Amino acid sequence: MAELGDTMKRVFLYGTLKKDQPNHARMAAGLQSEDCVFEGIGETQTRYPLIVDPLFNIPFLLGAPNHPKALNVEGEVYSVSEKMLKNLDELERHPTFYTRQEIPVQLNGRTQVTWCYLLQNFREDFLQRPALRTYDSKDYPEFLGGSHKPPTEEERQKFIAYAKGTA
């Protein structure tokens, strides 16, 4: 695999941005505009708890590496432009909600350093949720309360406070 140029960064996606998931249209638009390139299926080298919250059924990769419930998580790796990375940062509300952090991912038989959006400072009871190796929204038909649309800003703020344990 060719090395990335200065303008493209690798991102590991584990949830709703993956192919056939509710938010993949953002990545599909990036593929069409050439702001991103699909590189393949990868797996985290470090184990993390990937959980689905019970309120909106949204997946979170918890910033708790090697926690006893953690697993090597499977996801998609994309090379993205700075423009696309900024769009992802806005979607994931980095750094106030998710934190974008570099992690090692196994991709095509090699270890690659990728950006990943982790939830830090989360509710303690999230660590009691079952951990997953991979996420598929089809297993959670009530994604975003069944609406499959982004919540309002007020709902988003309430959800962030809930997930961070500050509500």
Catalytic center residues: 92
For the record, the structure tokens of 14 come out as: 């584990």
Provide CB contacts within 8 A for 18, sequence distance 6+.
24, 27, 75, 76, 135
Q: How far apart are CA 156 and CA 53, in angstroms?
A: 14
Instruction: Report the C-alpha dihedral over residues 68, 139, 100, 81, rounded to 10 degrees.
Output: 140
Which is nearest to 76 in space by CA: 48, 102, 49, 115? 115
Q: How far apart are CA 43 and CA 60, in angstroms?
A: 16
Whether residue 143 contacts residue 55, with contact meaning beta carbons closer than 8 Å, is answered with no
